[in-house]
Amino acid sequence: MMMMGETWSQLGSLIATSMFLWAMFDKYFPYHLRSLIRSHSKKLASFVYPYIQIKFHEFTGEYLKRSEAYAAIETYLSEKSSSEAKNLKAVVVKDSSQSVQLSMDENEEVTDEFEGIKVWWVVKKITPRTHSFSFYPEMEEKRYYKHTFHKSHREILKAITVRNRQRKLCINKSRKWSHVTFEHPASFDTLAMESKKKEEIINDLIKFSQGKEYYAKIGKPWKRGYLLYGPPGTGKSSMIAAIANFMNYDIYDLELTNVKDNTELRRLLIEMTSKSIIPASKMANGEEESNSKVTLSGLLNFIDGLWSACGGERIIVFTTNYVEKLDPALIRRGRMDKHIELSYCGLEAFKVLARNYLDVDSHPLLVTIGHLLEETNITPADVAENLMPKSLNDDAETCLKKLIEAIKTAKEEAKKKAEEEARLKAEKEEREKQEASQDDVKFDKSLAKEVKENGVEVVIDDKTLAKEVKENEVIA
Ligand SMILES: Nc1ncnc2c1ncn2[C@@H]1O[C@H](COP(=O)(O)OP(=O)(O)OP(=O)(O)O)[C@@H](O)[C@H]1O
Ligand SMILES: [Mg+2]
């Protein structure tokens, strides 16, 4: 640590000397010689100071908002600095806890290792040179964290930054995309579904992300369509978030009812960046199509055409609660390459939720719940809701018992619903039967009337009618 500080101060004086020499050169050397020296001086500077520095200022923007990056670094370094740094300051955390957090004092330096790369952090303070009197001199001081690393790591850090870059959630409002930071915590780890199915999806995504050359070779656009289907609350939206997080993609949540016409749709689609995912859904009754000038099938057709012309990887995820009601043309392979069913909660999915929500890996009640889940249709959303502790006294066992009760209730309700449906079905069938026989009577009566008007005797049964008709024909 000391060594680093010393090296920097030596470098500082070396740079000051070169600045003086530079001014001399600038004044006395001819232009072409100056430009030659300038090009070499860059190499020299990077040779004598082979480090890259990044500053994170505490206050940013027009309204001097406290930077989230600065706050995050402060929190991150508070633990490190309390064991390493000699000069610390105590800050009261402004949340409900009102706890005290130790952070680095000005000019204090902390060494850190990031993915095997040595980096240094130092906090600096700028005090403005002002002659005016201020009641709050500390308000005018500006702090920043300086992050230093060797320039040989530039590429690796760049790759890490890309990997950790913040994802965007874009929505189309008043003809343009506007975005907020996408911070959904869903991941494949937290997604409740069978591990085999999960692995299959992950492998598919990895294969797709590595497929740039392959797609180019087979002459297909680098895009993939997923169809997620299943009842409400089975994790379709959660899976879209997990895919975006896993792939590091931005989400373009296209609201078709906000799109004026096809020209606007086309422009919005072209403006989408690479590495993006577009969710689309269809309601069962086609409601969206009546409200919107552009339709889902229109969107899919555009995507087929437009995305073929733009490079870059893109995923479209289509979700529905009613796969059986979809037009097969919408979900044919090539458009929706992989069809994934999200279903009611089974034992394996439940175990993911129990680990997530209660930190429970094994418990005697899991067997009971497993049996109950086999006999009952309950969504992961309902299971999750029941697993969540609702009061300070709720421990894992209380929550599991609550879930057992909820599954039993759901089972009971499903039984009642099935019985009710069976009763309604029987009633309907009975009604239809009666209506059919009334129709027969009506038909017979009108036939009888007609026959009578034509001077033929009333006939009731089919055989007699057939005979009568035959005879009439013969007479005719
Ligand atoms: N498979 C799952 N794994 C983890 N959590 C889930 C899962 N399914 C549902 N949940 C929980 O239930 C909530 C609702 O789920 P989600 O929004 O993903 O359902 P959905 O299938 O998209 O429903 P809808 O068809 O109504 O859009 C989620 O926020 C999550 O907490
Ligand atoms: Mg959803």
* DSSP state string for 37-54: HHHHHHHHHHHH--EEEE
| Mutate which of 195, 226, 229, 234 for ligand 1 pocket (most atoms within 8 A of beta carbon) | 234
Token reading at 40 = 């070499």
Q: What is the pLDDT of residues 202-252, one digit of tens each?
A: 999 999 999 999 998 988 889 999 999 999 999 999 999 999 999 999 999
For ligand 1, atom 24, name the residue with the nearest CA. 232
Is residue 331's pLDDT more than 70?
yes
Ligand 1 atom with least separation from CA of 353: 4
Closest atom, ligand 1, to C-alpha of 321 = 25
Which one-letter amino acid corresponds to residue 418? A
Q: Which atom of ligand 1 is nearest to the CA of 238?
A: 18
- Residue 474: the pLDDT is 45
Please name the residue whose Cα sits nearest to atom 6 of ligand 1: 235
Region for residue 22 given its phi and psi (left: phi exceeds 0; alpha: psi -120 to 50; beta: otherwise):
alpha
Give the pLDDT mean for 418-441: 90
Tell me the pLDDT band of 63, cut-offs 50, 70 and 90.
Answer: low
Quote the pLDDT of residue 1. Answer: 41
| pLDDT value of position 365 | 95
Q: How far is the CA of 54 from the centre of ligand 2 (A)?
A: 40
Ligand nearest to the CA of 230: 1
Distance CA 395, CA 357 (A): 11
Residue bearing the CA closest to ligand 1, atom 16: 235
| Mean pLDDT, all residues of the chain | 80
285-326 pLDDT, tens digit per residue, is 444 455 566 777 888 888 877 777 777 889 999 999 988 888
pLDDT given at position 312: 80
The percent of residues in the chain predicted with pLDDT above 90, rounded, is 36
**Residue 430: band (very low, low, confident or very high) from pLDDT cuts 50, 70, 90:** very high
Atom of ligand 1 nearest to the CA of 356: 4
Residue nearest to atom 26 of ligand 1 (CA): 232
Confidence of residue 162 (pLDDT cuts 50, 70, 90): low
Nearest protein CA to atom 13 of ligand 1, as residue: 381
Ligand lying nearest the CA atom of residue 231 = 1
What DSSP character marks residue 61? Answer: T
Alpha carbon of 228 to ligand 2 centroid (Å)? 10
Q: What is the pLDDT of residue 2?
A: 42
Of the listed ligands, the closest to the CA of 350 is 1
User: What residue owns the CA closest to ligand 1's atom 25?
Assistant: 232
| Ligand with smallest separation from the Cα of 348 | 1
**Gap from CA of 379 to ligand 1 centroid (Å):** 8
User: What is the CA(232)–ligand 1 centre distance, in A?
Assistant: 7
With beta carbons less than 8 A apart as the criterion, state whether 172 and 255 touch.
yes
| Residue 257, pLDDT above cutoff 90 | no
**For the chain, what is the total number of helices (H) and then of strands (E)?**
16, 15
467: number of Cβ within 10 Å? 12
Residue 459, pLDDT score: 46
3-state class percentages of the chain: helix first, strand second, coil last, to nearest 5: 55, 20, 30
**Residue nearest to ligand 1 atom 7, measured at CA:** 235
**In the structure, which protein residues have their CB atom closer than 6 angstroms to any atom of ligand 1?**
190-193, 232-238, 321, 342, 380-381, 384
How remote is the CA of residue 304 from the centroid of ligand 2, in Å?
A: 24
pTM: 0.64
Distance 317 CA to ligand 1 centre (A): 15
pLDDT tens profile 104-143? 778 888 888 877 788 888 888 887 665 555 555 555 678 8
Query: Minimum-distance ligand to the CA of 344?
Result: 1
* Residue nearest atom 8 of ligand 1, based on CA coordinates: 235
Q: Tell me the CA–centroid distance for residue 238 and ligand 1, in Å.
A: 5
252 CA from centroid of ligand 2 (Å): 15
Residue 124 pairs in a beta bridge with: 144
470: amino acid identity, one letter: K
Q: What is the pLDDT of residue 199?
A: 96
pLDDT in the model for residue 461: 53
Distance 428 CA to ligand 1 centre (A): 35
Please state, in angstroms and rounded to a whole number, the distance separating the CA atoms of residues 198 and 178: 32
**What residue's CA is closest to ligand 1, atom 30?**
381
Pairwise pLDDT comparison (448 vs 423), residue with the higher score: 423
Over residues 344-395, the pLDDT tens digits come to: 999 999 999 999 999 999 999 999 999 999 999 999 999 999 999 999 989 9
319 CA distance to ligand 2 middle (Å):
7
Question: What residues form DSSP beta bridges with 314?
Answer: 223, 276
- Pocket probe mutation, ligand 1, options 238, 251, 379, 383, max atoms within 8 Å of Cβ: 238
Residue of the CA atom closest to atom 27 of ligand 1:
232
ipTM over 0.85: yes
Taking residues 404-430, what's their average pLDDT? 94
pLDDT of residue 77: 79
* pLDDT tier at 13, thresholds 50, 70, 90: low
Q: Quote the percentage of the chain above a pLDDT of 70.
A: 71
Residue ranges of domains in the chain, CATH in brackets: 2-161 (no CATH), 167-341 (3.40.50.300)
pLDDT over threshold 50, residue 434? yes
CA 18 – CA 39 distance, rounded (Å) = 15
The rounded Å distance from CA 281 to ligand 2 centre is: 8
Q: Taking the mean position of all CA atoms in its chain, how far away is CA 352?
A: 19
